[in-house]
Amino acid sequence: MDPNTQVDDSNPAANRTKYSGMSGNEMYCAYILGYMPGDLLIGNSVFSMGYIGSIKTSVRTFVGGEMASYTNMVAEGRRLSLERFEKELAESGGSGASSVTSELIFHPGNAEFLTVGSSIHAMPNHGTNSVFTTSSDAQELFCQWDAGYQPLSFVFGNVAYSIGVGRGILGSIRQLAKGEVKSYSGIFNTTRNLALSRISDEAKQKGANSVVGIRTSILPIGVSGVQEMVMIGTASHNSEISAIADSVGGITTSDLTAVETWNIAKLGYMPLKLVLGTSVYSLGLAGGIMASLKNLVKGEIKELTNMIYGAREQSINKLRQQAEEIGADDVLGIKTYIYNIGGGLIEFLAVGTAVKKAPGIKTNSEQLPPQAIITDQDTFVDTANTSYGVDLQTSGYNKRGPA
């Protein structure tokens, strides 16, 4: 749509003041797609921390892995808040909602599941009556839509997990030898991929053949030793990828940014699958003693250097194996993370998106408008809890000085 097109004053949504979370750049991109900003929408659900703490854990927590009762509870809270958000969207007469988030916020004595996003309204003669929700903001939405990915629904997949209370027994024995603790690597690889399989399954139920813009977060859920891995993204449909999507179970998945998604489409490539590889390593009792002794003198600690290097390589090798299995041409955007999971064990996680060149993949526009790629700047800065750039709430300081 031409950005200079005038809004039809007969449209009721055009005549009312809107209260939107959109930025000016987002408004421009939405306008090109044929939408006007609507109101900010909120849906929430509050659970008692007493209830959360009383949930019985599975026997499997003894050896680590998923804690299904917590997964189900958190998923229920997220879905309840999303349902209320969607009800507000319907009541507002919105054509869709952008920048949808699913947050978990802890208040004294309770946990709140919060869904927030900005509604949008189709302009006259837009040509579609389908209502959609997306985790992408309007800038990202333009990039994805222009690359052929039509949004259908905000989706998420989650898993609550624990390394297990058994780590103190089994882990201490295995730590006598340094190197990968394969039993834990297996548990974490399975757990990490559960969230991916669940977001894919939810997208299938929405009639999608892709999930774009996946963002992954790891959060504590208010219970000692229990964390949630949650993926959010947008279930979308691209008519050009259906045949190749069948090779990865009918759903392609990607954590590439929206601009990256547009760029590779311009080159004729499509995302195939978000690939993850994780390895759990222990330096070992003997290696730990040697490293401790060497800390007394200057120089490289070769035992730690070799272990960390090997762990990263092992995690990336797992990505490579997954990519080869699905016939990918490349794996893009590889990121690596290190987590101390206790008991002298460290997890190395590698994440990337496998891509493939395919016929018919292209963009609608020759170039992206600047408004689609400009980074919005923060115009509100809160320094009430900082001193000389140090966050007093998280740095170990209190009002009387160092804790």
* Domains of the chain by residue range: 12-360
Helices 258-266 and 138-146 meet at what angle, rounded to 10?
20
d(CA 353, CA 275): 6
pLDDT grade, residue 284 (50/70/90)? low
Report the range out of 8-12, 133-137, 310-314, 394-398 with the highest average pLDDT. 133-137
Percent of the chain with pLDDT over 90: 55
User: Which of 304, 357, 365, 312 lies closest to 147, judged by CA?
Assistant: 365
Residue 77 has pLDDT above 90, yes or no: yes
- Confidence label for 396 from pLDDT (cuts 50, 70 and 90): very low
Q: Indicate whether 367 pLDDT > 90.
A: yes
Is the pLDDT confidence value at 282 over 90? no
**Cα dihedral: 345, 347, 348, 352 (round 10):** 170
Measured CA angle at 272 (ends 260, 131), to 5 deg: 70
Out of 28-37, 64-73, 207-216, pick the least confident: 64-73
Six-digit token string for 39: 């109101």
In whole numbers, what is the pLDDT of the chain averaged over residues? 83
Q: How high is the pLDDT of residue 61?
A: 46
CB 284 within 8 A of CB 175: yes
Q: What is the pLDDT of residue 394?
A: 45
What tens digit of pLDDT does each residue of 168-205 get?
444 444 444 567 788 778 888 888 899 999 999 999 99
pLDDT tens readout for residues 129-172: 789 999 999 999 999 999 999 999 999 999 998 765 444 444 44
- d(CA 100, CA 5) in angstroms, rounded, equals 27
Pairing of strands 252-253, 210-220: parallel
Max mean pLDDT range (112-121, 154-163, 291-300)? 112-121
93 DSSP assignment: T
Query: In 150-180, which positions are buried (b, 16+ CB within 10 angstroms) versus exposed (e)?
Result: bbbbbbbbbbbbbbbeebeebbeebbeebbb
What pLDDT does residue 64 have? 61
Residue of higher predicted confidence among 286 and 194? 194
pLDDT for 182: 80
pLDDT at site 17: 86
pLDDT at 395: 42
Provide the CB-side half-sphere exposure for 57 (13 A, CA).
19
- Conformational region of residue 115, where left means phi above 0, alpha means psi within -120 to 50, and beta covers everything else: beta
- Judge whether residue 266 has pLDDT over 80: yes
Between residues 101 and 61, which one has the greater pLDDT?
Answer: 101
